[in-house]
């Protein structure tokens, strides 16, 4: 028997990466050496110390029970320590941080927390599809904010109609950005904070690539660096890209305590927390963020220079950004995938 899917599943766009995977596998089966420029999934190893921590904690029977849906105190304290050292942002680990099953989980679930049917979320385009799909799942609709090269791949907040802005409940943003690879400075985040404050919008900033950058003089900042940003927003952060931990499923959200509490209220009803052993290992990663991220950056920098050399030889025009895995080709209708 085939069971009819709910409308929300029928409304999904075709999953782009499935087609890319098909082409890659076809080439590989013919023995070709394929370098995948598709989905951003680090091929580097998780540092050994983090893996050892997981193994040891997995043997402790105290960790075999249900974890807290809100997260392990020690992990949240490590996340607060990381925000203090990395961004000079102070967070209360108890009320302003929540552990996530990877940031994708939180980015998707936040729609169920704040979006009623017919509500609007402001969503960047091009962008990570979870922003609009999470919104659709919750019955809301996405208002597209075009992010074009002429505007440094930033949305033009002034072009958002007043009635749309007033109706919007959430604004999704992501800098350093996937897929355009653009970054933004604190000035833009201050404008976002003011816009969100005026329109009672919760800013959801996805900072998955904050530690994949190549130029110390434009080191990515946090949305929470904008003074008073905690009033209007939260930031999603992920251990996936910074520590080569995509398979581990661990991240966190930080910022506005009311929004964090609401997300926790939702999560107690859909999941029962992240395995504590994974959170202990995550804390080890966050405590040593400087050494691990610098190691990654030095490897990515070498690879990036090779790609630049190849692009230059072919005369391809490309956007030479200072962050993320991507350096998209320009003059295409879409900046990349
Ligand atoms: C990879 C990525 C994430 C991280 O997702 P996790 O669920 O934490 O692994 C979030 N946002 C964007 C834009 C990404 O590319």
pLDDT digits (tens, 9 = 90+) for 80-94: 999 999 999 999 999
What is the per-residue pLDDT for 329?
61
What is the per-residue pLDDT for 321?
80
**Centre of ligand 1 from the C-alpha of residue 104, in Å:** 6
Q: Does the structure show a pLDDT above 60 at 222? A: yes
Overall average pLDDT of the 96-114 stretch: 98
Q: Does the structure show a pLDDT above 90 at 125? A: yes
Domains plus CATH for the chain?
Answer: 48-290 (3.40.640.10)
Which of 29-38, 136-145, 271-280, 307-316 comes out lowest in average pLDDT? 29-38
Nearest by Cα to 172 from 251, 233, 216: 233
Pocket test for ligand 1, best of 100, 240, 323, 326 (most atoms within 8 A of CB): 240
Choose between 12 and 332: higher pLDDT: 12
Nearest by Cα to 208 from 250, 245, 229, 236: 236
Pocket test for ligand 1, best of 124, 130, 208 (most atoms within 8 A of CB): 208
- Binning pLDDT at 50, 70 and 90, where does residue 20 land? confident
Backbone angles phi, psi at 219, to 5 degrees: -65, 130
Q: Which atom of ligand 1 is nearest to 239's Cα?
A: 8
CA angle 312, 318, 324 (to 5 degrees): 110
Q: Which atom of ligand 1 is nearest to 251's Cα?
A: 8
Taking the C-alpha atoms of residue 122 and residue 170, their distance in angstroms, rounded to an integer, is 6
Q: State whether the beta carbon of 323 lies less than 6 angstroms from ligand 1.
A: no
Q: What is the pLDDT of residues 30-78, one digit of tens each?
A: 999 988 777 788 889 999 999 999 999 999 999 999 999 999 999 999 9
- Percent of the chain at pLDDT above 90? 84
* Chain centre to alpha carbon of residue 315: 32
Residue 283 near residue 71, CB atoms below 8 Å: no
**Centre of ligand 1 from the C-alpha of residue 192, in Å:** 21
């Amino acid at each position: 028997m085939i069971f009819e899917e709910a409308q929300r599943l029928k409304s999904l766009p075709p999953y782009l990466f499935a087609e890319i995977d098909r082409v890659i596998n076809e080439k590989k089966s013919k023995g070709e050496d394929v370098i995948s420029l598709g989905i951003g999934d680090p091929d580097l190893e998780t540092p050994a110390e983090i893996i050892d921590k997981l193994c040891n904690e997995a043997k402790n029977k105290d960790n075999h029970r249900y974890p807290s849906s809100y997260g392990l105190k020690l992990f949240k304290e490590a996340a607060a320590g990381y925000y203090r050292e990395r961004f000079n942002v102070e967070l209360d680990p108890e009320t302003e941080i929540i552990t996530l099953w990877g940031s994708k989980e939180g980015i998707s679930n936040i729609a169920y927390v704040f979006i009623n049917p017919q509500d609007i979320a402001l969503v960047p385009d091009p962008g990570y599809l979870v922003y609009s799909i999470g919104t659709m799942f919750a019955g809301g609709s996405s208002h597209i904010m075009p992010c074009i090269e002429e505007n440094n791949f930033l949305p033009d907040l002034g072009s958002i109609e007043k009635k749309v802005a007033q109706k919007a409940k959430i604004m999704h943003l992501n800098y350093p950005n996937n897929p355009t690879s653009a970054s933004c400075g604190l000035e833009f985040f201050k404008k976002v904070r003011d816009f969100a404050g005026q329109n009672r919008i919760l800013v959801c900033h996805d900072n998955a690539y904050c530690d994949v950058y190549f130029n110390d003089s434009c080191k990515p900042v946090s949305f929470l660096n904008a003074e008073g940003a905690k009033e209007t927003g939260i930031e999603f952060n992920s251990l996936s890209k910074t520590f080569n931990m995509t398979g581990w499923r661990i991240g966190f959200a930080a910022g506005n305590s009311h929004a964090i509490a609401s997300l926790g209220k939702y999560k107690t009803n859909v999941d029962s927390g992240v395995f504590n052993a994974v959170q202990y290992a995550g804390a080890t990663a966050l405590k040593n963020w400087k050494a691990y991220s610098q190691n990654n950056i030095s490897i990515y920098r070498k690879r990036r220079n090779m790609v630049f050399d190849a692009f230059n030889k072919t005369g391809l025009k490309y956007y030479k950004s200072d962050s993320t895995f991507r350096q998209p080709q320009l003059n295409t209708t879409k900046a990349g995938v």
